[in-house]
Amino acid sequence: MSTILDGKALAASVRQDIREEAAKLPRRPGIAVILVGEDPASQLYVSNKARDCAECGFLSRRVDLPASCSEEELLEIIGRLNADAAIDGIMVQLPLPESIDERRILEAIDPEKDADALHPLNVGQMVHGDPVIWPCTPAGIAEMLDFYHIPVDGKTCVVVGRSDIVGKPMALLLLQRHGTVILCHRHTKDLAAMTRQADILVVEAGHRGLITADMVKRGAVVIDVGMNRDPATGTFTGDVCFDEVKDISSHITPVPGGVGPMTRAMLMQNVLTLAKLHMGLLPRH
Ligand code: NAD
């Protein structure tokens, strides 16, 4: 029987710590979240972020733009936020409408205000293993591993999914912690042969029920990033068949209540870190 990694409870305690630390700073940390279009899921994520900011005592600014807005308009807003001394972190809610070049937008954000660490300069620092901040989801997973005293050094770590926002930085983070990393994706020939080797298995395929019990080694730590919405019920399930895998793994994250809340908490943590950097309380690279 597995230990359930309770991301919800841990995230609440992380937010409390952030609130206490933020209260000691000379000014409130500030974040701006830009939402383009009216995707209901994105609207919900952005509202949740505003709630987290309020709980942490941060200044939060929300910029809503119509899906028809131009790349130039968006770049101009980012330019203004880059120059705004009250704003420490900028986050553009993804995905952006197809008409907008996502890369160009993300590269326009000041790397020192890049709250999700997606700017190429920050990605480069990740490759070197010493970024100021990690993207929120891998950072949240690392925080959970630390809290539950799960060592990475020398472990075989298998990551399923190679997205820029989760899979790739997760692989780099585990590598930096001296894990032996296997990064799988859609072209991986025999996924089960890879996942069965994992001491630590992180799954972010966005494919409900992809990981079954026969794909998991006994005693593995299983981290489920997947959030697959059932259109009929509106509920979320992960990429891992939780009910069967929990009897094999040593530790497992639930969906919901595992990685999701930690991802949100780490956005606050990242903004706090950037605020300290801007206030001269942390060394620059
Ligand atoms: P994505 O489509 O960008 O990436 C998915 C990755 O999974 C790709 O690299 C793809 O190659 C790989 N993949 C897909 N099917 C596979 C298969 N059958 N075998 C092996 N590899 C496979 O998606 P994304 O935006 O990274 O999101 C993935 C999932 O993670 C979604 O369910 C999303 O909701 C969730 N997510 C959750 C959080 C969180 O905070 N919990 C954060 C980000 C994403």
Q: What's the average pLDDT block by block, 10 residues per block, for the chain (285 residues)? A: 96 98 98 95 92 97 96 98 98 94 97 97 95 97 98 98 97 98 98 98 98 98 96 93 98 97 98 98 87
Q: Which atom of ligand 1 is nearest to the CA of 140?
A: 40
| Protein residue closest via CA to atom 3 of ligand 1 | 163
Which range of residues forms the domain containing residue 172? 136-260
**Is residue 69 domain-resident?**
yes
Residues labelled catalytic: 49, 93, 116
Task: Answer with the one of 78, 111, 144 that is the final residue of a domain.
Answer: 111
Query: Under a CB-based contact definition with an 8 Å cutoff, are residues 52 and 268 in contact?
Result: yes
Q: Where residue 51 sits, what CATH number does that domain have?
A: 3.40.50.10860
Kindly state whether residues 107 and 175 are assigned to the same domain: no
33 half-sphere exposure, CB direction, 13 A CA radius: 24
CA of 281 to the centre of ligand 1 (A): 36
- Number of other residues whose CB lies within 10 A of the CB of residue 230: 10
Looking at residue 28, the DSSP 8-state letter turns out to be -
- State whether the beta carbon of 253 lies less than 6 angstroms from ligand 1: no
Kindly state whether residues 158 and 248 are assigned to the same domain: yes
CA of 194 to the centre of ligand 1 (A): 17
Q: Alpha-carbon distance 175 to 98, whole Å?
A: 33
Condensed to tens digits (0 to 9), the pLDDT of residues 122-169 reads 999 999 999 999 999 999 999 999 999 999 999 999 999 999 999 999
Q: Alpha-carbon distance 10 to 20, whole Å?
A: 16
Q: Where residue 246 sits, what CATH number does that domain have?
A: 3.40.50.720
Pocket test for ligand 1, best of 102, 137, 163, 240 (most atoms within 8 A of CB): 163
How high is the pLDDT of residue 103?
95
What is the chain's alpha carbon radius of gyration, rounded to the nearest angstrom? 19
- State whether the beta carbon of 229 lies less than 6 angstroms from ligand 1: no
Kindly state whether residues 222 and 168 are assigned to the same domain: yes
Kindly state whether residues 87 and 198 are assigned to the same domain: no
Mean pLDDT of the chain: 97
Peptide bond into 256 cis (omega under 30): yes
Condensed to tens digits (0 to 9), the pLDDT of residues 57-76 reads 999 999 999 999 999 999 99
Assessment of whether the complete model's pTM goes beyond 0.85: yes
- State whether the beta carbon of 185 lies less than 6 angstroms from ligand 1: yes
CA of 167 to the centre of ligand 1 (A): 8
Kindly state whether residues 63 and 164 are assigned to the same domain: no
Cβ burial of 57 (10 Å; 0-12, 13-18, 19+) is middle
- State whether the beta carbon of 137 lies less than 6 angstroms from ligand 1: yes
Structural domain count, the chain: 2
Kindly state whether residues 31 and 65 are assigned to the same domain: yes
**Is residue 12 domain-resident?**
no
For the range 11-18, what are the long-range contacts, defined as Cβ-Cβ under 8 Å and sequence gap of 24 or more?
A: 11/140, 11/261, 11/262, 11/264, 11/265, 12/261, 14/143, 14/262, 14/265, 14/266, 14/268, 14/269, 15/52, 15/55, 15/56, 15/265, 15/268, 18/56, 18/265, 18/268, 18/269, 18/272
CA of 272 to the centre of ligand 1 (A): 27
Kindly state whether residues 164 and 100 are assigned to the same domain: no
Kindly state whether residues 174 and 246 are assigned to the same domain: yes
Kindly state whether residues 91 and 148 are assigned to the same domain: no
Task: Answer with the one of 69, 95, 111 that is the final residue of a domain.
Answer: 111
